Amino acid sequence: MSSTAHIVIDRVSHEYRPARRRPVLALDDVSLAVGDREFLALLGPSGCGKSTLLYLVGGFLPVEEGTIQVEGRPVDGPGPDRGIVFQHFALFPWKTVIQNVLYGLEKKGLPREERLRVAHEFIELVGLAGFEDSYPAQLSGGMKQRAAIARTLTIDPSILLMDEPFGALDAQTRSLMQAELLRIWQRSRKTVIFVTHDVHEAVFLAERIAVMSARPGRIKEIVDARVDRHDPEVQRTPQFLEMVDHVWNLVRAEAIQAQRSGAA
Domain enclosing residue 20, as ranges: 1-76+159-169+190-264
Residue 178 maps to a domain:
no
Residue 182 maps to a domain:
no
Query: Quick one: 49 and 96 in the same domain?
Result: no
Position 55 scores a pLDDT of 96
Query: Quick one: 17 and 96 in the same domain?
Result: no
Position 262 scores a pLDDT of 62
Position 167 scores a pLDDT of 87
Position 69 scores a pLDDT of 97
Q: How many domains does the chain have?
A: 2
| Cα–Cα dist 26/59, whole Å | 16
Distance separating the N- and C-terminal Cα atoms of the chain:
30
Query: Quick one: 46 and 90 in the same domain?
Result: no
| Cα–Cα dist 83/55, whole Å | 11
Domain of 246, CATH number, reads: 3.40.50.300
Question: Does residue 216 have a cis peptide bond before it, meaning omega lies within 30 degrees of 0?
Answer: yes
Residue 177 maps to a domain:
no
DSSP the chain: --TTEEEEEEEEEEEE--SSS--EEEEEEEEEEEETT-EEEEE-STTSSHHHHHHHHHTSS---EEEEEETTEE--S--TTEEEE-TT----TTS-HHHHHHHHHHHHT--HHHHHHHHHHHHHHTT-TT-TT--GGGS-HHHHHHHHHHHHHHT--SEEEEESTTTTS-HHHHHHHHHHHHHHHHHH--EEEEEES-HHHHHHH-SEEEEEPSSSB-EEEEEE----TTSTTGGGSHHHHHHHHHHHHHHHHHHHHHHHHT--
Query: Quick one: 103 and 118 in the same domain?
Result: yes
Position 161 scores a pLDDT of 96
Residue 181 maps to a domain:
no
Query: Quick one: 60 and 165 in the same domain?
Result: yes
Residue 174 maps to a domain:
no
Query: Quick one: 32 and 45 in the same domain?
Result: yes
Position 195 scores a pLDDT of 97
| Cα–Cα dist 264/109, whole Å | 44
Residue 175 maps to a domain:
no
Residue 176 maps to a domain:
no
Residue 220 maps to a domain:
yes
| Cα–Cα dist 45/257, whole Å | 9
Query: Quick one: 197 and 263 in the same domain?
Result: yes
Residue segments in the chain with a per-residue pLDDT below the cut of 70:
1-3, 262-264
| Cα–Cα dist 98/118, whole Å | 11
Position 255 scores a pLDDT of 85
Which residues pair with residue 213 across a beta bridge? none
Query: Quick one: 164 and 245 in the same domain?
Result: yes
